[in-house]
Structure 1
Amino acid sequence: MTDAEVAELRAQVAALQAERATLTALVDARGEDLAVAARVLRARAATMTSVVDAITEQSVVGTDRDGVVRVWNPGAERLLGLPRADVVRRRRITDFHDPAELAGRGLDALVSVASARGSDVRDWTYVAADGTRRTVSVAVTPRADDDGGPAGWTFVGTDTTEARAAERLKDQFVALVSHELRTPLSSVLGYLELVLDDPALGAGHRRYLTTVQRNASRLERLVGDLLFTAQVEAGRFALTPGEVDLAALVRAAGESARVTADAAGVALAVTAPSAGPVVPGDALRLGQAVDNLLSNAVKFTPRGGRVELGLGTADDGEVRIEVRDTGVGIPGAERAGLGTRFTRATTAVRAGVPGVGLGLSITHAIAAAHGGRLELAGTEGRGTTATLVLPR
């Protein structure tokens, strides 16, 4: 081998050694990066575990795609009576559900809505290790892996057993009391009508009995409202479908409210077309909704104020029945909560306006049952605009 060939081989060896040194340095650097990343991931996992473990009032259960439990926090241990070691990788989330509610669909019954919409919240019945059944509001969300693919599901449960039981008792109480009140009230009103029809009744007695009749009728309406809200809460609210002429309905509501408005010193203006629009719905319930809005407007408007009732059609084809007043108004932060029964605006309470907080909740229910909605707007101290929006 010539000196030139030896020199060339030496040069190649030197180049390979240099390349190896470079690769070794890269491997060492990459190894350091990987070690740092591993430490960061371990720290994040430890943080997440500590956060999940700190949640003791809610059960947090994480599963893989097949529903096998991978995460089981102290809240789940307390609610379902099993330690983590007995559940993780050994049990499925469906093991803790009432089989009747799953209806043979298994995990799909729990996650189908969340899979389609990204999340789902509803009540389910959990069955603990000792057979105790608990009503739990469960929020279900999908989990993704590092590549964004489906990794499983997270179930966050809040025990609502006592709250739901209290709601049922309240509804039963309202329905029972309402029924027990309605029977004697019907008798009282019937006999009052007979007595008032007597031509021999003196003017003074007639005035007194008319006052009794008016207040008994008011109480009967309140009982009817209580029964109606109990039906709504129990899911037994049904409509009698038909074709409803909203123009005629608005004019009739205006005439009914005019006597009360005149007595309260409130000007009432009604604007409605001579005919139409006609919408599908329950005329009695829609009339009740408009009556509620008008009654509220007159009641919350001081003497000398004004109430306007109007009917129109929006560009998107929706029909809008609008009641505008110059009354006490509703604080903006309270508008969203006024659809809940027995809830009243603080402005109404401060003004000493009588009521129990049922009118708007009833109107909300009627609007929703017709595929519509109730919108509230206005300024505290300067009036309210309530709009019943209905599809055509």
Structure 2
Amino acid sequence: MTTVDPRTAAARPGRLPRPRAARPDVPDAELERLREENAALRAQVRTRADELDLATRMLAARAQTMTSVIDAVTEQSIIGTDRDGVIRVWNPGAEKMLGLPRPDVVRKRSIVEFHQPEELEAAAEGCGSATGLAALVHAAQEHGSDVRDWTYVAADGQERTVSVAVTPRTDDRGVHAGWNFVGTDMTEARATERMKDQFVSLISHELRTPLTSILGYLELVLEDEGQPLTEEQRKYLTTVERNADRLLRLVGDLLFTAQVDAGRFSLQPQDVDLAGVLRAAEETARVTADAAGVEVVVEIPEDGVVVPGDAVRLGQACDNLVSNAVKFTPSGGRVTLSLRSGWAAPDGTVGDEPRFGSAPVAQLAVSDTGMGIPTGEQGKLFARFFRSSTAQRNAVPGVGLGLAITKAITTAHGGTLDVVSAEGEGTTFTLTLPRATA
């Protein structure tokens, strides 16, 4: 029979030492305390092990969820890189867009290899970067994110216009680990936009030239004192002139919206007295209002209100609001044009007195007692070619460009355009602009 030394057995790996027999020089109380501490340590180790196991499983589940979500995106490319631009994430959308399977790309290719070289070089020169990757991530590095069009080059050499959202990527410790590139193929959309802009510009030019000629000859005929017209002839030619003017304004609106979409909308800033703009709009609408039986009231402060802006464009915006108010107000109704100075708080509210953090503004309001706009349609008012159901039911003329143009002009001046309306109770449009101060 083999004899086993208890001390050797206690030291075997994987086994905790067994309690030693009580020694005469160690009190029983001390031994009991040591046993309790040993038990507490064992429990703590088991708890920490359980917590670590749970955290590991949660992290694995989270990673699996993220992978599943990324792999489920098939219409957008999701590409993740390390700090040097080497691709680490390549989803099915990227495979579809760029024509390469994941094993051929991950850890083998750089993101810059799928960009048009000339475009990268131009971008690098523009931001003072030495490399293509630096040009790609320059704006995202400065602002935290960036979205713009880039040209992707697929494996077969086909080029695509892609709207790419770039954001930094961090590891589980929060340390910068690379970049995320989420791309949406905009090739067809951008081509459609270019064709639309070209079509609008062409049609506008081809219509504006003959219309201008027609209006010029109409003016000569109507004002020719040597060959006076009969009342019936003058009536007919005046109708022709009115409709030619209407067509010319429509052509101008179409051309303006094309300029806004193409980013070619520019302003000629100067100090503009909004009181004069409002009076001019009232004079323009006066004939139409009188004919429709609509009263126009003007409420303007005596000292006026000056704002920095383009007088022509602000006049166009004001004319649109006033003419709309007159059109949508039935006979016997009222249109009120008002102007006031105020102070805009950071939350957007406007008061008469300055407060901490407030900025000087001017508010131009056009109110009517007309048919109003349904609540569910008010969010669509500033979309091009949108016409409310009340306008359609009451056969109010128009094509739905006026408010879209007014909104674009207001935004270009750093202002806001708000609407308050109730069906059957009227509408108020309020144009708020930064105000010049002495």
- Taking the aligned partners of 1:90 and 1:338, their CA distance within structure 2 comes to 51
After superposition, where does 1:66-105 map in structure 2 within 5 Å?
Answer: 66-102=84-120, 103-104=123-124, 105=129
For residue 406 of structure 2, give the secondary structure of its aligned residue in structure 1: helix
Please tell me the residue identity of whatever aligns with 1:390. L
Residues 136 and 159, structure 1, Cα contact 8 Å, conserved in 2: yes
User: Shift of residue 292 of structure 1?
Assistant: 0.8
Percent identity between matched residues is: 65
Aligned to 2:371: 328
Closer, same or farther: CA 50–337 of 1 in aligned 2, 3 Å: same
Aligned to 1:227: 255
- Taking the aligned partners of 1:263 and 1:364, their CA distance within structure 2 comes to 28
Deviation larger for 8-17 or 260-269: 8-17
Aligned to 2:349: none
1:347 equivalent among 387, 390, 406: 390
Deviation larger for 316-325 or 33-42: 33-42
- Taking the aligned partners of 2:388 and 2:185, their CA distance within structure 1 comes to 30
- Taking the aligned partners of 2:232 and 2:56, their CA distance within structure 1 comes to 93
Aligned to 2:24: 7
Please tell me the residue identity of whatever aligns with 1:218. R
- Taking the aligned partners of 2:139 and 2:366, their CA distance within structure 1 comes to 38
After superposition, where does 1:1-392 map in structure 2 within 5 Å?
Answer: 7-8=24-25, 23-24=41-42, 26-102=44-120, 103-104=123-124, 105=129, 106-199=132-225, 200-315=228-343, 316-392=359-435
User: Shift of residue 220 of structure 1?
Assistant: 0.8
User: Shift of residue 219 of structure 1?
Assistant: 0.6
For residue 294 of structure 1, give the secondary structure of its aligned residue in structure 2: helix
Deviation larger for 194-203 or 104-113: 104-113
TM-score, normalised to structure 1, is 0.90
Q: Which runs of 5+ in 2 are unaligned?
A: 1-20, 344-358
User: Shift of residue 72 of structure 1?
Assistant: 1.1
Closer, same or farther: CA 14–342 of 1 in aligned 2, 3 Å: same
- Taking the aligned partners of 2:25 and 2:394, their CA distance within structure 1 comes to 103
Deviation per CA, 1:301-358: give whole Å up to 9, x if none.
2222211111111123111111111223233444343333222333322332121111
User: Shift of residue 116 of structure 1?
Assistant: 4.7
Closer, same or farther: CA 90–350 of 1 in aligned 2, 3 Å: farther
Q: Which runs of 5+ in 1 are unaligned?
A: none
- Taking the aligned partners of 2:167 and 2:333, their CA distance within structure 1 comes to 51
User: Shift of residue 209 of structure 1?
Assistant: 0.8
In terms of fraction of residues, the more helix-rich structure is 1
Which of 1 and 2 has greater Rg? 2
Deviation per CA, 1:129-173: give whole Å up to 9, x if none.
222221222233333333334333332222121112111111111
- Taking the aligned partners of 2:324 and 2:229, their CA distance within structure 1 comes to 35
Closer, same or farther: CA 97–383 of 1 in aligned 2, 3 Å: farther
User: Shift of residue 363 of structure 1?
Assistant: 1.2
Deviation larger for 138-147 or 374-383: 138-147
Residues 293 and 386, structure 1, Cα contact 8 Å, conserved in 2: yes
- Taking the aligned partners of 2:146 and 2:114, their CA distance within structure 1 comes to 18
Closer, same or farther: CA 150–383 of 1 in aligned 2, 3 Å: farther
Please tell me the residue identity of whatever aligns with 1:205. Q
Please tell me the residue identity of whatever aligns with 1:49. T
- Taking the aligned partners of 1:121 and 1:335, their CA distance within structure 2 comes to 29
Closer, same or farther: CA 352–65 of 1 in aligned 2, 3 Å: farther
- Taking the aligned partners of 2:390 and 2:380, their CA distance within structure 1 comes to 14
- Taking the aligned partners of 1:335 and 1:120, their CA distance within structure 2 comes to 31
CA RMSD for the aligned pairs? 2.6
- Taking the aligned partners of 1:194 and 1:353, their CA distance within structure 2 comes to 32
Please tell me the residue identity of whatever aligns with 2:78. V
Residues 245 and 275, structure 1, Cα contact 8 Å, conserved in 2: no
Closer, same or farther: CA 348–112 of 1 in aligned 2, 3 Å: farther
Deviation larger for 343-352 or 360-369: 343-352
For residue 322 of structure 2, give the secondary structure of its aligned residue in structure 1: helix
TM-score, normalised to structure 2, is 0.81
User: Shift of residue 181 of structure 1?
Assistant: 0.4
